[in-house]
Amino acid sequence: MPKIVSIHSFRGGTGKSNTTANVSTLLAAEGQRVGVIDTDIQSPGIHVLFGLDEDDMVHSLNDYLWGKCDIEETAHDVTASLKADIDGQIYLIPSSIKAGEIARVLREGYDVGLLNDGFHELIEKLDLDMLMIDTHPGLNEETLLSIAISDALIIILRPDQQDYQGTGVTVEVARKLIVPQMLLVVNKVPTTFDFDEVKARVEQIYECDVAAVLPHSDEMMALASAGVFVLHYPNHQVSSELRQVAAKLLA
Amino acid sequence: MARIVAVNSFRLGVGRSTIATNLAVLLALRGQRIGLIDANLQAPGLHILFGQHLDQASYLLNDFLQNKCDIQQAVYRIALADGVAHQGLLWLVPASPHLTETTRMIRQGYDLDWFYRGLQELASTLRLDMVLIDTQNGLTEETLFTLAIADVLILLSRTDQQDYRGTAITVELARKLDLPRILLIVNEAPGTADFSILKTQIAQTYHCDVGAVLPHFEEVMALASAEIFVLRYPHHPLTTQLEQIGDELVRS
């Protein structure tokens, strides 16, 4: 059964796009056909992790939302660009990085129902096992839709006061929308923190499974979204934690 | 009129609120009269950093923008002391983190002229030297307006690929708006980087001088916005760097 997974965070800068790209890659490495859709139209970023730049983008999600093409035409097969031994497939549906197009969407808005149709069409046309939705931070119409139709929701937070309150709201909303599987990922945790304690505390506060506690990593910072971390550092603690997330999605 | 300093970044999670707060505190401690505005109405954060100072907060920026109160009712004097009996002169205008308010801001935005008039009134009533505005991230209508009225833009960027393009566009736009001064600050630079090479590379990428390269520090992360960094670590190298940026702002 194909699975729709939303990756969300209340505040920005939590590492959503990196987590999405890495977990998607791990899933593809397990033979899954994975679609990754960047619905953060305001500030698209995940294309960078897959090495897709403006010249490579034939069509973007924006084109589909403006009725210029079918959604499968916006899918870019980025599997080969990962230069790794991957059994499965990764299709990236990017958002436009042209300033004018971003401005247009912000000004005009778009049909959220059309986006929803697009998700299902992608799964069907590309025969996907998983559709990973990289959302815009915060709770708005589009992110609520993604959460509502998801089979699994990954909420990412940093162990920072600015994240805690908002994450509580998101968890509550997700519960009301009856998302079947909800996983928390605590990211950018200072290495001086007690990780077991962080996990226990977060699980207690939100009464929700913590799938991974990811330490702040200098290597991740230095990689700077230039590539997919798990391919560069397969034996790193962060990579093993992310494998746990992938495993939970496949369970 | 007080100088308007916009603190902006293209992406989220770059450290705008943290840097704006710490800069404002340092400037206030050296005797400048500072207004700090949380204009990040879709996802405010300053009330968290100043949490302990805002027990009695009732009216917020949102109320002023909806014409429910005067701007003076939404401003809070922050008592600061650096242990050397210097009185900090800092006033904060916080925003509401409640879901109904942030949702309203996402859907409707706010009256920009009204916002500007509020700033002007505040600046004149409190005789402010500077108004620091923690803007929303990215190039929205509100941030564009703030750039248009700003005297100084503090533009924060990380050394992450996802930041570059949008930050470069912001620099270009700021120039087109004839913004008098752009201070580009690289935040959270990896400790492994060679900072002088990094500075040159970034200056080349953005065609803009780099005001400062702030390294990533575990202590900032570990503090986790529970306190104001420069008050907790007054002699930390980061505090020293921020003081230097403060010097620049006062001088320019």
* DSSP state letter for B81: B
User: Nearest CA of chain A to the CA of B125: how many Å?
Assistant: 31
CB contact under 8 A, A225 and B161: yes
How many angstroms separate the CA atoms of A222 and A190, rounded?
Answer: 16
Q: How many CB atoms lie within 10 A of CB A189?
A: 22
Nearest CA in chain A to B107: A140
Q: Is the pLDDT of residue B88 over 70?
A: no
Which among A108, A190, A62, A43 has a CA at the least distance from the CA of B8?
A43
pLDDT tens figures, A162-192: 898 889 989 999 999 999 999 999 999 999 9
The answer to whether B20 and B146 have CB atoms below 8 angstroms apart is: no
* ipTM for the assembly: 0.79
Q: What are the residue boundaries of the structural domains of chain B, listed by start? A: 3-251
* This prediction's pTM: 0.87
Q: Among all chains, which residue has been given the structure tokens 């050397």? A: B84
Which residues from B are below 8 Å from A216, CB to CB?
218, 221
Helices and strands (H and E) in chain B: how many: 11, 8
Task: Tell the CATH topology of A3-250.
Answer: Rossmann fold (3.40.50)
Backbone angles phi, psi at A40, to 5 degrees: -85, 70
CB < 8 Å to A139, chain B: 99, 103
pLDDT tens digits, B100-117: 898 888 888 899 999 999
Instruction: Indicate if the pLDDT at residue A236 is higher than 50.
Output: yes
Nearest to A48 among B97, B161, B191 (CB): B161
Mean pLDDT of chain A: 93
Which pLDDT does position B55 carry in this prediction?
66
Percent of chain A residues past pLDDT 70, beyond the cut: 100
The span from the CA of B105 to the CA of A138, in Å, is 12
pLDDT, residue A96, reads: 93
| Chain A, window 148-187: residues with a beta carbon less than 8 angstroms from a chain B beta carbon | 158-162, 165-166, 169
Tens of pLDDT along B120-159? Answer: 999 999 999 999 999 999 888 899 999 999 999 999 999 9
Q: Is B99 on the interface with A (CB under 8 A)?
A: yes
CA pair distance B155, B164, nearest whole angstrom: 12
Q: Do B43 and A17 touch (CB under 8 A)?
A: no
**B177 and B4 in contact (C-beta within 8 Å)?**
no
Domain boundaries, chain A: 3-250
Given an 8 Å threshold on Cβ–Cβ distance, is B13 in contact with A14? yes
User: Which residue of A10, A159, A224 is in closest CB contact with B160?
Assistant: A224
Q: How confident is the model at residue B174 (pLDDT cuts 50, 70, 90)?
A: very high
> What's the rounded mean pLDDT across residues A50-75?
94
Q: Is B197 on the interface with A (CB under 8 A)?
A: no
C-alpha distances in Å from residue B174, one per residue of A211, B109, B139: 42, 22, 11
Closest CA to A2 of A95, A91, A122, A144: A122
Query: Residues A35-61: what's their mean pLDDT?
Result: 92
CA separation, residue B213 to residues A94, B13, B170, B244 (Å): 31, 17, 18, 12
Distance CA B40, CA B43 (A): 6
The CATH class of B3-251 is: alpha beta
